[in-house]
Amino acid sequence: AGPSVTLTRLHQLNFLLTGIFTTICNQIIFNHGGADQSTFLLSLPTYLGMLLIIIFPEARQDLPVNVSHGSILGTSVVDVLANILCVYGLQLVGSGMFQVLYASVVCWAALMTKFFLAKRVSAWQWIGIMIVVVGLGTTSLGGHVHNKQVQGALGDEDTVHVFFGVAVTLLGCMGYASSYVLGEHLLHSHPTLPPQRLCVQVGSLGCMLLACYFTTHTIPKWEVLVTQSIERKGGHYGMISLLYVGLVCSSLLHNWAHFFLLRNTGAVSTGGLQSVR
């Protein structure tokens, strides 16, 4: 028997609230100088939280013999690349516009589910997707009017950064939708694969890739990229450190729910929650 409706709803609520918390914390850390764009420090809590899912016994089970390590690696790489693109896009466009763009994940997930998994998307799901599309269009029109009013205050370089940030964020959204669909396919085609085990695999790869990047770029330039950035923006090490710890805890809870929902509700419904967020 599948999980109860109550348990599924609790996971959905957890997924939604931790997602909102994470986005707000990311923006606060960036505004206080604790996450220069080139450091990718904001990606670390995501994958540390995923790795900490190993506290669950299911996450420590051996992989089923019929599960291809290549398929898990592919899912992990797509997820890591999408995360990097979205974190970078968030810092370029800000949390408000980012959340509007991020809502497009459900649209991409629905299209990929239909064409690559040949899975039927229900009428209610299509209605939800249309609401998202209308909302995105309305917000974009409002943003266009606002931009006309303030364009004199923005230089050409700022405008280019915003448009580049929009493009990067949309690519990241497509990447996340791909990750959702790949994860759903993997979990559904291998019923004995625990969602927590897949989560730990993705988290392990993310931590390894980030460790390589930090070793070669972030740590050698720590004084310039982190210390001076915090001082320049008037940030406080204690507050920023506390927010990073909060992000790790939030990531653990968020991804616990995320992989549960991928198996039990699918990529489209999970993407829909991102739109509600």
Residue 7 amino acid letter: L
| Cβ count within 10 A of residue 142 | 11
Question: Which has the closest alpha carbon to 215: 39, 83, 18?
Answer: 39
- H or E stretch at 28: helix 5-31
Separation between Cα atoms, residue 70 and residue 62, nearest integer Å: 16
Identify the weakest region by mean pLDDT among 8-22, 54-68, 193-207, 227-241.
Answer: 54-68
User: pLDDT at position 68, please?
Assistant: 79
* Digit-coded pLDDT (tens) for 5-16: 999 999 999 999
Q: How many whole angstroms from its chain centre is CA 239?
A: 23
**What confidence tens digit (pLDDT) does each residue in 161-219 have?**
788 988 999 999 999 999 989 988 888 888 888 999 999 999 999 999 999 999 999 99
Give tens-digit pLDDT for 121-174.
677 777 777 776 676 666 655 554 444 444 455 556 667 778 898 899 999 999
Give the model confidence (pLDDT) of 66-98 as tens digits. Answer: 777 888 888 889 998 998 899 888 888 877 778
Residue 74 Ramachandran class (φ > 0 left, ψ -120 to 50 alpha, else beta):
alpha
Query: What's residue 105's pLDDT?
Result: 83
Domain ranges of the chain: 5-276
